[in-house]
């Protein structure tokens, strides 16, 4: 992939537009964010009504927030939603009342260990309300006098929204990319995934002769993917060959791959192969339930081959789920590199077939096919010739390209011209 700096600039432009929007697992902020991403990827929206049963879950009421703030005893307004949408506990019920410090304090959230950070708190499935402020501000609040709490929100019968795009290939075999779009104003743990996935679509759309069909899902975390699986789960069980959850794609840390429960599926082998040969500082994690939507895809009934390629994983960076997970924390160059890594993985999966050498007895005569240059030829490349001979020797119908490349401990992407030339010569 070329033009990473150009991609980084595009990512930043869309980041700035999406950043102020107050998103949640339902509501207008979620829809507005999808509308913006539709400029990059042709997403189709799906709406699931409140009260719908999806496996063991029920679609909740739709939440929308219009304004929220606290008026202190001295008349000063704090925790204003208009200044930072993390100030309000996500899914807070409507409130307009006066109360004292003792009654207010249980509804104020702060982090003593991170005195300058606003925490991110939610209450999706239990009706509650609250505000989030920095610990430094919490320390200055008067303990005497009367506070006024105002939360102008609505919890009503409505819908949960998810959106998908299908990029057709030559077969019905699918590769899934899944990301969540439900966190307000967090850079790495929210916007990096949807942005990387949207621009990955651009890369794959430009890829000629796609063998696989690619499905892109943008949904609220957990409940949105559960709703999606209620609709598409049986289709995925039939057609899915590999899948990835995109999250935490934008910080400056090294790439990290979290395996599926299969451990050796195409998703796992392709991701780990690309990381080993193109991103040497990477790390690999085993599947664990502490994570994101891979929990749903890898649940026993589905057990789909879905992993997750990210950078510094959730909960492993200090800024996680706070206001410090902001634009200053991420790198748009790193985010562009994550898109590049996913593009390489897809290129490998497209090429990773099992090949059969049509001349099985002894080596084929490459010279008469123009594939074995003279050793006096100034363009003679001994390494490339050895690679060609290696490929033909191992193309026995029983090994795929990743396996063939691993014998030489090199990237399978180095074989693209060799495969094309062998096809043209009728050798495979």
Average pLDDT over residues 355-383: 82
Q: What is the pLDDT of residue 374?
A: 66
Q: What is the pLDDT of residue 373?
A: 75
What is d(CA 143, CA 104) in angstroms, rounded to the nearest whole number? 10
Q: What is the pLDDT of residue 246?
A: 98
Percent of the chain exceeding pLDDT 70 equals: 98
Half-sphere exposure at residue 347, Cβ-oriented, CA atoms within 13 angstroms: 18
> Under 8 Å CB-to-CB from 117, ≥6 apart: which residues?
111, 134, 135, 319, 322, 323, 324
Query: For the domain bounded by 4-60+159-351, which CATH number is listed?
Result: 3.40.630.10
Average pLDDT over residues 347-356: 96
Residue 268, pLDDT above cutoff 80: yes
pLDDT-derived band at 367, boundaries 50, 70, 90: confident
2-21 pLDDT, tens per residue? 458 899 999 999 999 999 99
Best CA proximity match to 256, nearest among 286, 214, 219, 218: 286
Residue 326, pLDDT above cutoff 70: yes
> Under 8 Å CB-to-CB from 286, ≥6 apart: which residues?
258, 259, 263
Rg (CA), the chain: 26
Query: For the domain bounded by 62-156, which CATH number is listed?
Result: 3.50.30.90
Average pLDDT over residues 306-328: 96
In a 10 Å sphere around its CB, with 0-12 CB exposed, 13-18 middle and 19+ buried, how is residue 415 labelled? buried
Q: What is the pLDDT of residue 2?
A: 41
DSSP-assigned beta bridge partners for residue 180: 219
Q: What is the pLDDT of residue 5?
A: 84
* Mean pLDDT, rounded, of the chain: 96
Q: What is the pLDDT of residue 199?
A: 98
394-420 pLDDT, tens per residue? 999 999 999 999 999 999 999 999 999
* CATH 3.40.630.10 residue window(s) in the chain: 4-60+159-351
Residue 408: alpha-carbon gap to chain centroid: 32
Average pLDDT over residues 42-46: 98
What is d(CA 243, CA 167) in angstroms, rounded to the nearest whole number? 14
* CATH 3.50.30.90 residue window(s) in the chain: 62-156
């Amino acid at each position: 992939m070329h033009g990473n700096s150009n991609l980084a600039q595009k990512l930043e432009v869309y980041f700035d537009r999406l950043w102020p929007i107050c998103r949640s697992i339902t509501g207008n902020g979620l829809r507005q964010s999808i509308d913006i991403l539709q400029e990059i990827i042709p997403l189709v929206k799906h709406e699931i009504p409140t009260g719908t049963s999806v496996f063991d879950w029920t679609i909740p009421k739709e939440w929308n927030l219009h304004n929220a703030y606290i008026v202190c005893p001295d008349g000063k307004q704090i925790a204003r939603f208009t200044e930072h949408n993390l100030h309000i506990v996500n899914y807070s019920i409507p409130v307009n009342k006066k109360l004292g410090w003792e009654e207010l304090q249980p509804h104020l959230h702060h982090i003593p260990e991170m005195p300058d950070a606003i925490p991110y708190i939610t209450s999706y499935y239990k009706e509650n309300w609250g505000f989030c402020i920095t610990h430094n501000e919490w320390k200055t609040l008067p303990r005497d006098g009367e506070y006024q709490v105002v939360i102008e929100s609505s919890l009503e019968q409505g819908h949960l929204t998810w959106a998908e795009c299908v990029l057709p290939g030559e077969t019905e075999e699918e590769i899934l990319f899944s990301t969540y779009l439900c966190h307000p104003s967090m850079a790495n743990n929210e916007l990096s995934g949807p942005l990387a996935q949207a621009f990955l679509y651009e890369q794959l759309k430009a890829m000629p002769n796609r063998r696989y069909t690619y499905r892109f899902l943008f949904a609220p975390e957990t409940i949105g993917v559960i709703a999606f699986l209620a609709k598409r789960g049986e289709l995925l069980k039939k057609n899915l060959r590999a899948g990835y959850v995109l999250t935490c794609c934008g910080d400056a840390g090294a790439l990290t791959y979290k395996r599926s429960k299969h451990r050796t599926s195409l998703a796992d082998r392709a991701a780990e192969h690309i990381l080993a040969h193109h991103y040497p500082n990477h790390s690999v994690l085993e599947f664990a339930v502490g994570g994101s939507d891979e929990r749903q895809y890898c649940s026993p009934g589905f057990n789909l081959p879905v992993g997750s390629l990210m950078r510094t994983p959730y909960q492993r960076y200090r800024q996680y789920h706070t206001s410090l997970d902001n634009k200053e924390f991420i790198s748009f160059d790193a985010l562009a590199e994550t898109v590049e890594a996913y593009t390489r993985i897809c290129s490998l999966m497209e090429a990773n077939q099992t090949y059969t050498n049509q001349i099985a007895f002894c080596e084929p005569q490459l010279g008469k096919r123009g594939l074995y240059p003279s050793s006096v030829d100034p363009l003679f490349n001994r390494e490339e010739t050895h690679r060609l001979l290696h490929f033909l020797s191992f193309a026995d119908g029983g090994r795929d390209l990743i396996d063939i490349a691993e014998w030489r401990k090199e990237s399978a992407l180095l074989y693209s011209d060799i495969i094309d030339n062998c096809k043209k010569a009728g050798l495979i």
